[in-house]
Structure 1
């Protein structure tokens, strides 16, 4: 029998691997960054990102644009700048009800 924490971790991973693109981007960024980090820039070409996430270019760009409009990130063709890491965490908590890494 899985413990409650293990079960929630499993549910979170399943949700992120098959869920909304914004959730997947949020999880990816949070997994690469430290909780109290500032001036966060992730160097990554967009073509590498849509390959990494296994989605079409338009799907990735649409999700990045939504996050930019919400003032959570900014991006260029070669980098993602995190403006509000806490909002990414809140997005995951809101959508899947759980995000353990920052506890």
Structure 2
């Protein structure tokens, strides 16, 4: 089994996300990556040890709570506090 890819080795195909079905990229079943776009067009990857279902539920909650906004294929941050909010639930934001 190969080592997990670094953020520099990930390409668009690896981290493409379909918001409707919340498809995630799994690395050895431990980490999950998701493309996410900030309002200032800063791109990054959300990495977490949580399962895709837990991430999906948290993202749904954050959209309902107006922390994230869904638009097409992307989730947008609505405030600068989003990173702190996600880190509180164990999701790390890694710059691309």
Category of TM-score, reference length = shorter chain: 0.3 to 0.5
RCO comparison, higher one (Cα < 8 Å, 6+) = 1
Larger proportion of helix: 1
Larger proportion of strand: 2
TM-score normalised per structure 1: 0.34
- Which protein has the larger Cα radius of gyration, Structure 1 or Structure 2? 1
